[in-house]
Structure formats: C-alpha cells, structure tokens
Amino acid sequence: MRTLGRGTRLALCAVAAVCALPLLTAAHDVRPLPYGDRLTVHAGPAGTAAPAVLRTRGTAVEAYDRGSGRARWTYHREGRRPVGLLTAPGHAFALWSDGMVTDTAHATVRWHRAVPHPGARVGGALRSLDRGTRMLAVVTPERIMAYRTEDGDLRWVLPAHDGCAFAPNRALWARGVLLLAQDCGRSGAWTDELVAVDGLGRIVPGRTPLANERPGRTGHPSRTA
C-alpha cells in the first residue's frame, strides 16, 4: 500500500476544507430556530451598521439596507404570519397570528413571548411606552401587557373595565404618555373612555408603581424625560 506524503495529506485537507465551506456558509445563513422560526441572513452590502428598513411581506418580516435597498434578512415562522410590526433603534418587534411576540436585532431573534390572551391574534397592536422604546405594550381589546424590551420580561398587565374593550388602533402618543381609547358602549363625554399609560402602568393620582429596571441596576428606565 502506498503511503501519502505529508505534503499530499496537507493538500487533501485544504481541498476538503474549501469544498466544505459553501455547506457551512449555507448552514449559517439559513438557521432553523425554535417556535417554528426560520431566519435567513442574506449577503449584506458594505456599511450594514446603519439601521435597516423593516416591513412585513406575506408571512415574513423583512429587513433591507436603507442605502442600497438590498435584503439583509428574512424572518418567518412556520404556519404563522405577522399581524403587527414596530421598529425601534436596535429592535424589530413583531406580533404573530398565534399570539407570539418576537424581537429581532442584528439578524438574531432575541426573544419570544406568548401573549396570554387570544385577542392578540385578531385585534392586537404594538405600541411604544417611552421615547427609547425600553418598554413595549401589546394592546388587545381585553387588556394591555407591557414588556421590557431588553429581555422580554412581562412587567405589568392592565385589563379593560368590565363591559369595555380597548381599541388597539386608536391611540395617541403625547409628552411621554400613551392615550388609548376604551369603548364601553355608553353615552357621555368621550374623555371618560380614555386610558393614559406609560412604562410604569396606568397613570392615576397617587400611584406607587414598581420600577422596571433589571436587578442590580438603578434608575427608572421606563420613565420619559
């Protein structure tokens, strides 16, 4: 039996590595994830540090380079479709048809959270609760749920009054306060059916809310200057 020389063995190893490179690249670019996720990372143009342009298209959330218009990544979940999208610096929040909320950043799905009510599947909306979007609200007809965007931690829940329903698509952001319509089917002043919230919860006289910072940190990251 003929024994290969050291130089020949090194050459064969180099050829094998080159042949395997496309397979490794493909495995990296199309990464199956839990929750039925599929995140496809496209070859990005130079200077991709700039914020991406995001949109929903069919059953996917897509990110594009602002300058060239080339696709950066495409994210979809098997058997689901995005029903709401909210962008913020470093974040791409999506509400899905199965009631899941996701945050995608830098071509990575950072967290998944299941909204604990089926109303999110048909009539939910995503709203920022402060200027830096450090707190995210998922508004459904039945309740408002607030999540810390850093890690997806559920911080507070505000149910609608008995016999009433929030209108997720009727909201106004003004001076650090999110005003939401709450339809109670009663006649009277329209101001009686408004609810004011911020990152700490409902705004009422004398409230004593819990802070939203992670353990070991100081300050109130959900307060708006």
pLDDT band at 3 (very low <50, low <70, confident <90, very high): low
Residue 11 lies in a domain: no
pLDDT for 8: 54
* pLDDT for 64: 86
Q: Specify if 121 maps to a domain.
A: yes
Give me the pLDDT at residue 87, please.
Answer: 87
184 within some domain: yes
pLDDT of residue 120: 61
| Residue 49 burial class via C-beta count within 10 angstroms: exposed 0-12, middle 13-18, buried 19 and up | exposed
pLDDT band at 70 (very low <50, low <70, confident <90, very high): confident
Per the domain annotation, does 156 fall within a domain? yes
In a domain, 58, yes or no: no
In a domain, 73, yes or no: no
pLDDT value at 84 more than 50: yes
In the prediction, which pLDDT does 90 show?
Answer: 85
Higher pLDDT, 63 or 1: 63
Q: What is the pLDDT of residue 113?
A: 95
**In the prediction, which pLDDT does 189 show?**
65
pLDDT for res 15: 44
* 59 domain residue, yes or no: no
Give per-residue pLDDT as tens, 19-60. Answer: 444 444 444 445 555 789 999 998 655 445 566 788 888 999
Total domains in the chain come to 1
Q: Could you list the residue range(s) of the whole structural domain that residue 186 is in? A: 115-211
On average, the pLDDT of the chain sits at 80
Which carries the bigger pLDDT value, residue 2 or residue 202? 202
pLDDT digits (tens, 9 = 90+) for 96-143: 999 999 999 877 899 999 987 666 666 789 999 998 899 999 999 999
Q: What is the pLDDT of residues 150-185, one digit of tens each?
A: 999 999 999 998 889 999 999 999 888 999 999 888
**Do the domain assignments include residue 66?**
no
Q: Residue 10 pLDDT more than 60?
A: no
